[in-house]
Structure 1
Amino acid sequence: MKNYLISAPEVVELMGVSESMAYRIIKKCNEELAKKGYITSEVKPQRLIYWKEWQ
């Protein structure tokens, strides 16, 4: 099964940022998802939204 959520350690690895910055990025992604009516996980946003917003 594919994992559709992205974790802070993955954000650190992909973007080369600190862990605290990774959590801030995840928080921002989750806020954007919530505005669009999505149900979010507190620590793992959907991978697709991460790619659209941060790549």
Structure 2
Amino acid sequence: MKNENDGKFTMRTLSTSSGSRPRNNKTILAANEFVRLSLLSFLEIVTGIRKR
């Protein structure tokens, strides 16, 4: 469930940020990984703040 939502969210942000024409798959995959990692770190920070 959670992975599907994350995939949809990353794809939506990628399509809006890259514009109308994505260049190549490697760039898309790299951006996808970057977005996923930033989201995970952000969630860790938020949950860490909540735990305090």
TM-score > 0.5, shorter chain as reference: no
Structure scoring higher RCO (CA < 8 A, sep ≥ 6) equals: 1
Between structures 1 and 2, the one with greater helix share:
2
TM-score of the aligned structures, taking structure 2 as reference length:
0.44
Larger radius of gyration between Structure 1 and Structure 2 = 2
